[in-house]
Amino acid sequence: MAVVAEPSKKLVCWSCGSENDADAQFCASCGKLQPYTPTDYFAFFGLPRRFQLDTASLERQFYRLSRKFHPDLYARASSEEQRWSLEKSSVLNDAWRTLRDPLARTEYALGLAGIRLEEQSRDASDRAAENGTAKQQVVPPDLLEEVFELNMQLEEMRMAKASGADDPETRGSLEAAKQNFDSQMKTSEQDLQRLWSEWDAAAETDDGETQQAAQQKMVDLLNRRSYIRNLLRDVEEALKN
């Protein structure tokens, strides 16, 4: 995967003919809006493709560009410019929503690296069907065991609670379970940040192997998180009733 943007081709301004950086949104000489060319969200903001990101500066950049792309400014411009301003405004919103959120950003950046989180299970099924083998599960077996076990315990607690007496003991175990899941979610956030910096540092030195390893760990972490998130949701539900 190309980690750093390709040695950029130049963008020639359609209006004044001066040369600009390939990902320029406006011409540096005449200030005219440049055509919209589909690009990834990092490049759209002129950022290197990294997991760690200064969201405060991203936010400032977002508001600045929102104003500059605003379709109202192009009401009297050519129809091409009107179209570009609309396209860019819309991509800007998507890019901002994705990049500002740590998890959405992680999934997005993994997607750019060719990892489709949503599809991994189906991909594994397809491979299994092709080879006639049992499917390689996308999560490690011990995690499945653990999640299954946690679900069993949770179900017992919920049934105990539902069967009349809201006894303090059951409530206590539910509270403890909630605390456990909460802290696992927190730990996973810290782990994720550590993996981000591993990957980013490796990207600086073109260390593809370390990047691959960090990516795989991020996938495992996100899979684990989605199980814990469901357990947390169930335990909160049980405590509410």
What type of residue sits at position 225? Answer: R
CB of 46 to other proteins, least distance (A): 32
- Residues found near other proteins in the complex (CB under 8 A): 117-118, 120-122, 125, 128, 131-141, 144-145, 147-148, 151-152, 155, 222-224, 226-227, 229-231
* Closer CB to other proteins, 4 or 144, in the complex: 144
In the chain, the DSSP E strands lie at 11-12, 19-20
* Closer CB to other proteins, 101 or 145, in the complex: 145
| Interacting residues of 239 by C-beta distance below 8 A, sequence separation 6+ | 171, 174, 175, 178
* Closer CB to other proteins, 11 or 154, in the complex: 154
Contact indicator for 23, 6 with CB cutoff of 8 Å: no
* Closer CB to other proteins, 124 or 213, in the complex: 124
Q: Which residue has the tokens 């909460």?
A: 182
CB of 199 to other proteins, least distance (A): 20
CB of 230 to other proteins, least distance (A): 3
**Residue 172 CA: distances (Å) to CA of 75, 154, 175, 181:** 62, 12, 5, 14
CB of 187 to other proteins, least distance (A): 18
